[in-house]
Amino acid sequence: MELLKNRIDEQKAVVGVIGLGYVGLPLLDAFQDAGYSCIGFDVDQKKIDSLNAGRSYIRHIPDGQIQQWLDGGRFSVTADMSRLAEADAILICVPTPLSSSRDPDLKYVEATAETIAKSLRSGQLVVLESTTYPTTTRDVVQPILEESGLKAGADFHLAYSPEREDPGNADYSAKGIPKIVGGVTKECAELACALYDKAVAAVIPVGSCEVAEAAKILENVYRSVNIALINELKILFDRMGIDVWEVVEAAKTKPFGFQAFYPGPGLGGHCIPIDPFYLSWLARRMGLTTRFIELAGEVNHAMPEYVIQRLMEALNDDCKAVKGSKICVLGVAYKKNVDDPRESPSFVLMEHLLAAGAELTYHDPFVPELPEMRHHDLPRMASRELTPEFLAAQDAVLISTDHDDVDYDLVGQHAALIVDTRNAMSRVSAPTARIVKA
Contacts of 144 (CB under 8 A, 6+ apart): 110, 113, 114, 117
Confidence of residue 235 (pLDDT cuts 50, 70, 90): very high
Locate CATH 3.40.50.720 in the chain.
Answer: 2-207, 302-437
Distances (CA, A) of 157 to 4, 81, 106, 285: 10, 19, 21, 29
Question: What's the confidence (pLDDT) of residue 174?
Answer: 60
Q: What is the mean pLDDT of residues 282-304?
A: 91
Percentage of the chain with pLDDT > 90? 82
| Fold annotation for 2-207 | Rossmann fold (3.40.50)
Query: Given strand 417-420, what is the order of strands in its sheet?
Result: 359-363, 326-330, 396-399, 417-420, 434-437
pLDDT tens per residue, range 357-377: 999 999 999 999 998 776 778
pLDDT digits (tens, 9 = 90+) for 103-139: 889 999 999 999 999 999 999 999 999 999 999 999 9
| CATH number for the domain formed by residue range(s) 217-300 | 1.10.1040.10
pLDDT (mean) for 307-321: 97
pLDDT at 160 over 80: yes
Cα–Cα distance, 73 to 65 (Å, whole number): 13
Give 419's Cβ-side CA count (13 Å radius). Answer: 26
* Residue 233 reports pLDDT greater than 70: yes
Q: Does residue 400 carry a pLDDT above 60?
A: yes
| Segments of the chain assigned to CATH 1.10.1040.10 | 217-300
- The confidence score (pLDDT) of residue 216 equals 94
* Burial of 289: CB neighbours in 10 Å, binned 0-12, 13-18, 19+: exposed
Using CA atoms, how far apart are residues 28 and 40, in angstroms rounded to an integer? 7
Interval 176-188 mean pLDDT = 95
When pLDDT is cut at 50, 70 and 90, the band that residue 322 belongs to is very high
Q: Is 193 a catalytic residue?
A: no
Is the pLDDT confidence value at 284 over 80?
A: yes
Rounding to the nearest 10 degrees, give the CA dihedral for residues 59, 63, 67, 69. Answer: -10
Residue 99: count other Cβ atoms within 10 Å of its Cβ.
12
Alpha carbon separation from 374 to 99, 248, 342, 343, 357 (Å, rounded)? 11, 35, 9, 9, 23
Kindly tell me if the per-residue pLDDT of 176 is higher than 90: no
Round to whole Å and give the CA distance between 104 and 120: 26
- Hey, is 126 helix, strand or coil? strand
> Of these residues, 209, 271, 319, 328, which one is catalytic?
271
DSSP 42: -
Higher pLDDT, 194 or 297: 194
> Is the Cβ–Cβ distance between 334 and 402 less than 8 Å?
no
Is residue 172 predicted with pLDDT exceeding 70?
A: no
* Confidence category of residue 167, pLDDT binned at 50, 70, 90: low
Mean local confidence (pLDDT), 390-401: 98
Whether domain 302-437 has CATH 3.30.390.30: the reply is: no
Please check the confidence at residue 336 and state whether its pLDDT lies above 80: yes
